[in-house]
A and B are shown apart, each in its own frame.
Chain A
Amino acid sequence: MKKISLMGCPNVGKSVVFSRLTGVNVISSNYPGTTVDFTKGNTRIGGEKFGLIDVPGTYSLEPTSKAEEVALYMLQEGDIVIDVVDATHLERNLYLTLEIIGRKKPTIVALNLWDETKHLGIDIDVEKLEKLLDVPVVPTCAITGEGIKELAAKVGDAKPSKTIELMSEGERWLKIGEIIKEVQVVHHRHHTIWERIADTTVKPVTGIPIAILTILLTFLFIIVIGNWIVEHLMDPIFYNYYGPWIVGAVNSFSPEGLLHDILIGKSTVESLDFMQSFGLLTTGLYVPFDMVLPFVITFYFMLSLLEDVGYLPRLAVLVDTGLHKLGLHGSAIVPTILGFGCNVPGALATRILETRKQRFIAATLMAIAVPCMAQSAMIFGILGRYGMKWIIIVYCTLLVLYILLGLLLKKIVKGESPELLLEVPPYRKPDPLTLLKKTWTKAYGFLAEAVPFVILGVFIVNLLYVFGVIDVLSTVFSPVLTTLLGLPEGAIVALIMGFLRKDIAIGMLLPMDMSPQQLTISCVVLATYFPCIATFVVLLRELGIRDMLKAAGLMIVISLTVGIIMRLILIGI
């Protein structure tokens, strides 16, 4: 099977071309550098099967970040290259194009965003461009699907160029100048009213209030709509239909005993308790589907909306100065925001940062002080009943930690923190279908990831109880938990579970009869002491074993310190 690599500069709509060609739900974003991990798919063109690789966006083949190194490697992998070019910025996009076809790879050029060239008053002579480059050139508009068929039909015509050779940087720009002069005419135009409005979101006087408002509205939307889904959809399903049915079904073949307890705990039809029963089919499904999923959906809907509209790079500009104080720069806001959804993509997205120092700081801060949506939903669910005050204490503590630790790491971590350099793409109208598809893909990704781990976790904890391991561990760790942190010794089981999943771990605190103070301390300790297994594996891969060990050491020390301080403040000695 031949391999096609899809290459192009960041933010040219490569991922949309990819999903058009494969039909796979591939995530694309209006944020440069979102595809940091490459995506593979298969497609059938004219009866022949092709493997398709969506390569991370890169401006040139001399890489400046880790994401771009991946791109270079992927070029060598492919047999055919589809070079996706932003037709509205032909000149600078041609640099990568000349680098690719100079290497004599069989190539087709897709002139994407073709429809926008007309609005912008840009005329491109496609035939002449084709002749000058000596490879097929196809105008496309991936969002609407125009030109994709033609593009696929020309895959067979991809060939090494005879006219373009590998050349030096200076020669390449000269060549590009010649090509542009021959194929492109730009009609002068003025800034539109919309562009002027768009500019207000990066000007500090207007931009900062707009950013605060945007974040508040996003937050409000996630909570209000999430709660609505819980109350009007998930709770009725669980309490009125699923609960009575599953209890009846299990009782019919196993009315009591070990199997019964592992499956549904001590639940009966009269007293359905999804939180405390701790059965695989009660708590194990209730936590991911009822308590977490609604908020994961609303979170990813809002994130996808902000991404597709193109707001995130603007946010990066506004927070840049602040993040520099923590040894990062504005782009680090992206892994951080992704981390609020799930730390795994957050950790992957640290690749958009240029240096090892930045990646270490961003990943460590995220793992310690950024709770994922599953965790947040549970913190709200469990602490919310005692009042907003406790939730605010948890998040303020994490925020203070984020800042203090960042200030410290900036000083002690060796290496450079370069300045922000980021393309700010124009605002784009999001396509509702793409938006829903994206939200669904990410929510599904959450379920695929969370449900098996939650079920496994509930199973393991049941076994640990059955075999008395929990009692032993409780006694062993009682000095730390009870004496230092002021928590009941049974809280150890939540910490063990936290290695697997933090959401269910927080859920386990509920039956322990803790005071709101103890719950607050537990939530902060659970958030900070160690990442969940999925995040740990990704961090290990991204940071390497030495840096991961350093980060893990920091986590344990900080978690314990913060826990003790909170205990002294909230509970006393």
Chain B
Amino acid sequence: MELLSDMKPDRKAVPLTTLFPGERAKIISLGHGAGIQRHLRTMGLMEGKIVTIIAAQPARGPFVIDVEGTQIAIGRGMVRRILIQKI
């Protein structure tokens, strides 16, 4: 199942900013330099994890996302560089 859905052409990696609240997605890559990547991973934000959007603040404000039970407030610039696959 998992493999089949991965092969569909519309399942390509897109920025996390395109995810709507309520939708679920799988994290493909984190972007950023090694230091920030490590920091994100230790906060629970890791490749392969399932992410949802809890809230997006207006005026290019930060997001609150949920990664398998951990909620993280994260600036929009960082969110834009995180690539996901919707599921």
Residues of A within 8 A of B (CB): 9, 59-60, 62, 64, 88-89, 91-92, 95-96, 120, 169, 173, 199, 202-204, 207, 313, 316-318, 320-321, 329-330, 418-426
Contact = CB atoms under 8 A, between A and B. Distances in A.
Interface string B47-80: 0000000111111111010000111111111100
A62 B64 CA distance: 25
Interface size class of B (residues with CB under 8 A): 20 to 34
A419 B43 contact: no
Nearest to B40: A421
B41 interface: yes
Nearest to A169: B38
B70 A199 contact: no
A320 B61 contact: yes
A207 B62 contact: no
Which A-B residue pairs are the 8 nearest by beta carbons? Answer: A419-B75, A59-B42, A321-B61, A424-B71, A203-B55, A92-B44, A317-B73, A422-B73
B35 interface: yes
A92 B42 contact: yes
A207 B63 CA distance: 13
15 contacts: A64-B39, A92-B46, A96-B42, A169-B34, A169-B38, A173-B41, A318-B57, A320-B62, A320-B75, A321-B58, A321-B59, A330-B73, A420-B75, A421-B72, A422-B73
Given A91-B44, A329-B75, A424-B73, 12 more contacts: A59-B39, A62-B35, A89-B70, A169-B34, A313-B73, A316-B73, A330-B73, A418-B75, A420-B75, A421-B39, A421-B74, A423-B71
A321 B73 contact: no
Nearest to A91: B44
Given A207-B55, A320-B57, A60 B38 contact: yes
B77 to A, nearest CB: 5
Interface in B24-41: 34-35, 38-41
A64 B34 CA distance: 12
A419 B41 CA distance: 17
A419 B74 contact: yes
A319 B55 CA distance: 14
B62 A330 contact: yes
A92 B70 contact: yes
Nearest to A317: B73
B58 to A, nearest CB: 5
B57 A321 contact: yes
Contacts of A88: 69
A420 B64 CA distance: 10
Contacts of A62: 35, 38
A422 B72 contact: yes
Q: Most A CB atoms within 10 A — which of B38, B55, B60?
A: B55
Given A9-B42, A173-B41, A420 B69 contact: no
Q: Most A CB atoms within 10 A — which of B40, B64, B74?
A: B64
A202 B72 contact: no
Contacts of B54: 199, 202-203
B38 A320 contact: no
Nearest to A32: B43
B48 to A, nearest CB: 9
Contact of B64 (A89, A92, A202, A425): A202
Q: Most A CB atoms within 10 A — which of B46, B56, B62, B72?
A: B62
B77 A419 contact: yes
Q: Most B CB atoms within 10 A — which of A62, A96, A202, A330?
A: A202
A504 to B, nearest CB: 40
A409 to B, nearest CB: 20
Contacts of A329: 75
